[in-house]
Structure 1
Amino acid sequence: MNERDQTETDRENRRSQLLGLLTERRERLAAQIRRALAERREESQMRDAPGSHGWGAAPEGNISLAMVAQQQQQLSQIDTAIHRHQAGTYGRCVGCGEEIPLPRLQALPFAQRCAGCQEEWEAEKR
């Protein structure tokens, strides 16, 4: 196998590994969201049960809803990353065009920028 073929094989292995990361994270998040929403439904049904007088509405319910909203946002970001993967642009920084380092994508699989470009982008937003 020549060097060009090896580079292409390495690229395909990276793409496959990254798609696996995205898919795994997406499945995990979707399951967490389903569980949290099922728990909220159950809590709501218990509060609305005859004889409960609506008591038991806990303030931590607002926190769990905020967490679900955050998880849904991450799920949307992962879906966007999967679309970028299908288009062949996933894993490349939208700022500089270089490959985003694998450890960054493992930690934040929906990252669109390398760490340097992300810092610059955030600084510009402020």
Structure 2
Amino acid sequence: MTHDTNENQQWLARQRERLLERRAQLLHQVREQHEVAADQAESQADEGAALSTHPADAASDLAEAEISVTVGLTLQEELHEIDMALERLDNGSYGICIDCGKPISRERLEAIPWALRCIACQEQWEARREVHGAR
């Protein structure tokens, strides 16, 4: 029993390391994203008033801004999921499905260390979101 407990603690420690590493990567990407947005804003300000901008340029700027916002939101969402997974590691609920309360397979957690749900519950959750037209 002690061997299994020790092995499980080592696995959890590796998962924590993976989560912290991914968190650091995301924070770096968020910083880069902020720098890109600031550069875009500065560039647009340097170009002058909006009235002198060609409509095609304005549309291109808008598309770039929308992409930037979407990427930023995606990064923030994943960062939040990782922070929640680290909290679950701290409180002992890591690897337990938030819907059915059963263990999430190690294979799933190896693939997605911040997974909240077992595969069956995740599929049901995604199907409900699709039916209700959720984002």
Q: Does 1:115 align with 2:119?
A: yes
Aligned residues, how many? Answer: 121
Give the residue type in structure 1 aligned to 2:48.
Answer: H
Length-normalised TM-score, structure 2: 0.78
Give the residue type in structure 2 aligned to 1:102.
Answer: R
Q: Is the 8 A contact 1:22 1:109 kept in 2?
A: yes
Between Structure 1 and Structure 2, which shows a larger proportion of helix residues? 2
Structure 1 residues 11-48: Cα deviation after superposition (integer angstroms, max 9, x where no partner):
10111011011111111111101101111101211211
Partner of 1:71: 75
Q: Does 1:18 align with 2:15?
A: yes
Q: 2: distance between equivalents of 1:80 and 1:98? A: 18
Q: How far off its partner does 1:89 sit? A: 0.8
What secondary structure, in the 3-state scheme, does the structure 2 residue paired with 1:23 have? Answer: helix
Q: Which runs of 5+ in 1 are unaligned?
A: none
Q: 1: distance between equivalents of 2:43 and 2:128? A: 48
Runs of 4+ in 1 over 6 A off after TM superposition: none
Q: Which runs of 5+ in 2 are unaligned?
A: none
Aligned alpha-carbon RMSD (Å): 1.9
Length-normalised TM-score, structure 1: 0.83
What secondary structure, in the 3-state scheme, does the structure 1 residue paired with 2:11 have? Answer: helix
Q: Is the 8 A contact 1:78 1:110 kept in 2?
A: yes
